[in-house]
Amino acid sequence: MTTDPLTPPSSVPPLTVRPITPDDAPRLGDLLQRCSPETTYNRFFTAIRRPRPATLQWLAEVDHFRREALVAMCDGAVVAVARYDWTGAADDQAEIAILVEDAWQRRRVGTTLLPLLTDLAIDRGVRVFTATVLANNTAVAQLLRRVFPSVIVRNEGYAHTVTIPLGTPQGLALAPMPRSGGVPTLAKTVT
């Protein structure tokens, strides 16, 4: 199992974005091993590096309705994941989280994934995204402000609570892709 970061080409790389499948569990494990401790800490609030198989399975197995995750793929590897999970706090609220592998950060991967995830969520009845982010995580704060101008950030010391009222879909639906063995049928190539 490689632990080297995947090196993206110097030009903006083409990535395929698609919904996660249970088969992605080991790819998520590889992704987390390639990430820096800072990146995984910012995502999970703990220095997770070798998650248990059950954790990976839980992350990879979603129902594509109350829980959704989009993966950005390059050469068969998952290089980023954006997800929402209905929290149960309210019928129309879901919590979001995103992780982009270090070598792919600042390449607009997050800027691409979040609107796609948002359109799926709105279609399924989500009206508000929430997130908890570390107070010193300026990268995600900037990303959220860029993608969601209506974001509301409540300072709670160590972490910030983020609330994002969602508008109408931007028509960013993922394009159909060939179905194989029950795999979700949406995909998008990002260049």
User: Rule CB under 6 A: which residues touch ligand COA?
Assistant: 39, 42-43, 97-100, 105-111, 133, 137-140, 142-143, 146
- For ligand COA, the closer of residues 108 and 185 by Cβ is 108
At 30, the amino acid letter reads: D
Report the alpha-carbon distance of residue 109 to residue 5 in Å, rounded: 16
Q: Which residue is nearest to ligand COA (CB)?
A: 110
CB of 39 to ligand COA, least distance (A): 4
| Minimum gap (Å) between residue 118 Cβ and ligand COA | 14
CB of 108 to ligand COA, least distance (A): 4
Give start and end residues of each alpha helix (H) in the chain. Answer: 25-34, 37-44, 53-60, 109-123, 138-147
**Between 135 and 183, CB nearer to ligand COA:** 135
Q: Shortest distance, CB of residue 140 to ligand COA, whole angstroms?
A: 4
Structure tokens at 12: 């903006």
Q: Where are the strands (E) in the chain, listed by range?
A: 15-19, 67-74, 77-86, 93-100, 128-134, 152-156, 159-165, 175-176, 186-190
Nearer to ligand COA, 103 or 187 (CB): 103
Residue 50 vs 146, nearer CB to ligand COA? 146
CB nearer to ligand COA: give 7 or 180.
7
Q: Give the span between the Cα atoms of 6 and 87, in whole angstroms.
A: 33
CB 61 within 8 A of CB 68: no
